Amino acid sequence: MAFTLPETFAKLPRHPLSYPHSSPIHPLPTLSSFLRTSNPKITLFAKREDHSSPLACAGNKYRKLEYIVPDILSSKPQHNEPGYDGTPTTVVTEGAIQSNHTIQVTSVAKQIGLEAVAILHKGTGGGLSTSTDKSAFLRTGNVQIARLLGADVRMLEPGSTSGGRDPVASIMAELKAQGKVPYWIPSGASLHPLGGLGYARCAFEIAAQEKEIFGGNGRFEYMFVACGSGSTVGGLIAGFKLLDRIDANNGMTKPPRKVIGVVISPTKPREWHEGRVLNFARRAGDLIGLDGEKDITMDDVRLDFRFVGTAYGVLDPQSREALGLMAQQEAVVLDPVYTAKVARGAMHWVQEGEIAREASSKDEVNALFIHTGGQAALSAYADVDQVE
C-alpha cells in the first residue's frame, strides 16, 4: 500500500526488510462477539506484524532494523560503539534466552552478508527459572532458530563477568582482537538512536490502511501494543503526532488516536518506563520533522502496568487464558512473552467497559491489537498447550 512520508522523514536512509505491501490488518469478529460489546459496539482488529517480512520469524524488530542497516553498511557508521571504527563485519546483540530480537538481528546480518553474535542472558526474566523443562528451554524455540541461522550463540550465566568487565564489552573486544569490526545493537534496538523510526513509519502505514478499511469514515481510536524495551510504542506516538500535525495543517482535526503500551515486565517502576518511552518518542520526533520536546509530552504516553504478570518471560495464568482464547476464537497464535499479555490487556479494556466509558459518546469504536510476532518461542514453553 502506497503512502507518502513528509520530506524530512522520507529522506532518512532505509533498507527495506519488509514485504513491499503493508502487513495485513483484519477484524477479529468472533472474539469481538465473544466479548459481547455494545453501546458502543467495539470491534477488535489485528495488525499482523508477524506477517510483515519474508525473513525468519517476522516481527516488529525488522521495522526498527530497516533504519539501522544503512548505518551498519556505511564505511563510517555514525552510531556504533566508540573505538570500533570501519565497515562492520559482525553484528552483535543481546537478549533473554528466548529473545525474538536476536533472531531478527541474526536474519538481517546474514541477509547483508555479515556474521552475527547473539548474546543470551540466562538471568533475564523468569522464563528459564520457571520452566518445567529447562533443557528444552535452552535448546528449542528461538535458540534453535538462532543456531539454524548461523548465529554465534553465547549464553551467559546470571551475573557473569569476565575479569571484572562487562561481558558484552569483553565479547566486543574479543571480536576486535580477531580482526573483526563488531557493530553493537542494544537489546530490542530501542537504545539505538534510530530505533524508533520504524514504528513512526508504521503509523503512516496504519493511517493509510484505515482509509482503505473505513473509507475515510473511521479510524482506530485505540491501539494496544507491547511495551518492552519501549521504542515500538515511542515510534508510534511520534508517527501519529506527525500525522496529527499534517491533518491540522490541512484543516482537518480529529481526536488523537490512543496508543496503549501494555508493559510486559514488572522489573522497573512506572516512572522509568514512562520516561524511557517519552525519550524514545521525542528522539524519533526530532528526526522525522517534529520538535520532540515541544510537540510530544508525557500526556501522550499511556502505559498499562496491570498485565505484567509475575516476571518477564513468564506466562501467568491470565495471559495463558488470553493466548488460548485468541487461538480458539480466531485461530491466531500469540507468543508467551509479549502478545499474550497485550491480548489480555486489550480484552480487559473491552470486556470491563474501559473503552466504553472513555468513548461513551460514540456508537462504534475500533480497537487495534498489534501482533508483534514471537510465536517461535512457544516450543520452548513445554506446558503451553495446557490451556482451558
Residue 18 appears among annotated catalytic residues: no
Whether omega before 27 lies within 30 degrees of 0, making that bond cis, reads no
Helix (H, G, I), strand (E, B) or coil at 262: strand
Q: Under CATH, what is the fold of the domain 61-189?
A: Rossmann fold (3.40.50)
pLDDT at residue number 368? 98
Residue type, 67: Y
Amino acid residing at 134: K
What pTM was computed for the model?
0.96
Q: Which CATH architecture has domain 7-54+193-380?
A: 3-Layer(aba) Sandwich (3.40)
Burial of 340 (0-12, 13-18, 19+ CB in 10 A): buried
Intrachain domains 7-54+193-380 and 61-189 with the same fold: yes
Domain boundaries, the chain: 7-54+193-380, 61-189
- Tens of pLDDT, residue by residue over 188-237, are 999 999 999 999 999 999 999 999 999 988 999 999 999 999 999 999 99
Q: Cβ(50)–Cβ(372) under 8 Å?
A: yes
Per-residue buried b or exposed e for 75-94, using 16+ beta carbons within 10 Å of the residue's own CB: eebeebeeebeeebbbbbbb
336, three cell numbers: 508467551
User: Which amino acid makes up residue 40?
Assistant: P
Q: In terms of residues, how long is the chain?
A: 388
Nearest to 226 by CA among 372, 349, 98: 372
* Among 23, 32, 53, 99, the one annotated catalytic: 99
How many CB atoms within 10 Å of residue 388? Answer: 7
The model's pLDDT over 353-381, given as tens digits with 9 standing for 90+, comes to 999 999 888 889 999 999 999 999 999 99
Contact 77, 38 (CB under 8 A): no
Tens digit of pLDDT at every position of the chain (388 positions): 689 999 999 999 999 999 999 999 999 999 999 998 678 999 999 999 999 999 999 999 999 999 999 999 999 999 999 999 999 999 999 999 999 999 999 999 999 999 999 999 999 999 999 999 999 999 999 999 999 999 999 999 987 655 556 899 999 999 999 999 999 999 999 999 999 999 999 999 999 999 999 998 899 999 999 999 999 999 999 999 999 999 999 898 888 999 999 999 998 999 999 999 999 999 999 999 999 999 999 999 999 999 999 999 999 999 999 999 999 999 999 999 999 999 999 999 999 999 999 988 888 999 999 999 999 999 999 777 655 5
**Cβ count near 275 (within 10 Å):** 14
